[in-house]
């Protein structure tokens, strides 16, 4: 028998949320919700927190275009930086987005004493051999910018770390068939032992 685990923190992207739906969703969730609204046709993200979680929010930053929501918080006595992102899909915009994200992380965790968890649709392919099926990815510059974040903040792609040779895709185009793994979790390397 599999025991179901109930999440204390949930990250959602492409929620297509707007300010007018916010109160309805807050009434339906028993806990806190933090929004980064897009439009009712694109973007948007949110982070939901279970009401029983020992969570002390220090600061929050939500993108007006629904591309990211960033939280600086203490959870059960430990300092965390949470990022829920939905990156652009054009390389030039991606580079600006990742450079801006790197600066914002630095602003949030100036003391350097935080565990970092970033979840989202990065719209890039980290490893063309493992994260692609057909087609040629063109995000080389974007990957350099994302790699800079990982290097500077000692982040790892935990799913790839645990699944070194496995291929699994989060995006698919049917005709012609092209598949990509664009969604992933970047976490502080020191958190590896906390991940199941």
pLDDT in tens, 102-150: 999 999 887 778 999 999 999 998 888 888 888 777 778 889 999 999 9
Whether 195 contacts 158, CB under 8 Å = yes
**Structural domain includes residue 2:** no
**Structural domain includes residue 46:** no
| pTM of the predicted protein model | 0.89
Q: What is the pLDDT of residue 5?
A: 57
**Structural domain includes residue 108:** yes
Rounded distance between C-alpha atoms, residue 132 and residue 130, angstroms: 6
pLDDT tens column, 165-183: 988 888 788 988 888 888 9
**Structural domain includes residue 169:** yes
pLDDT at 63 over 80: yes
Q: Mind giving me the DSSP string for 137-151?
A: ---HHHHHHHHHHHH
**Structural domain includes residue 134:** yes
**Structural domain includes residue 40:** no
The single residue listed with the structure tokens 């392919």 is 125
Whether 48 contacts 10, CB under 8 Å = yes
**Structural domain includes residue 164:** yes
Return the H-helix or E-strand segment holding 111.
none
Q: How many domains in the chain?
A: 1
Which domain does 114 fall in, by range? 87-194
Whether 50 contacts 7, CB under 8 Å = yes
7 or 99: which leads in pLDDT: 99
Specify the CATH number for the domain of residue 149. 3.60.10.10
**Structural domain includes residue 125:** yes
């Amino acid at each position: 028998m599999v025991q179901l685990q109930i999440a204390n923190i949930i990250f959602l992207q492409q929620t297509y949320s707007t300010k007018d739906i916010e109160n309805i969703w807050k009434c339906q969730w028993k806990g806190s919700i933090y929004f980064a609204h897009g439009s009712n046709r694109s973007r948007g993200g949110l982070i939901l927190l279970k009401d029983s979680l020992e969570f002390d929010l220090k600061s929050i930053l939500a993108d007006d275009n629904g591309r990211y929501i960033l939280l600086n918080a203490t959870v059960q006595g430990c300092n965390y930086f949470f990022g829920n992102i939905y990156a652009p899909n054009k390389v030039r915009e991606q580079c600006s987005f990742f450079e801006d994200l790197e600066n914002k992380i630095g602003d949030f965790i100036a003391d350097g004493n935080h565990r970092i968890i970033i979840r989202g649709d990065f719209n890039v392919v980290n490893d063309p051999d493992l994260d692609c099926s057909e087609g040629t990815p063109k995000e080389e510059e974007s990957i350099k910018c994302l790699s800079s974040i990982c290097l500077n903040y000692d982040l790892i792609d935990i799913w790839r770390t645990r699944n070194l040779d496995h291929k699994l895709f989060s995006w698919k185009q049917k005709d012609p068939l092209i598949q990509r793994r664009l969604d992933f979790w970047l976490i502080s390397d020191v958190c590896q032992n906390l991940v199941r």
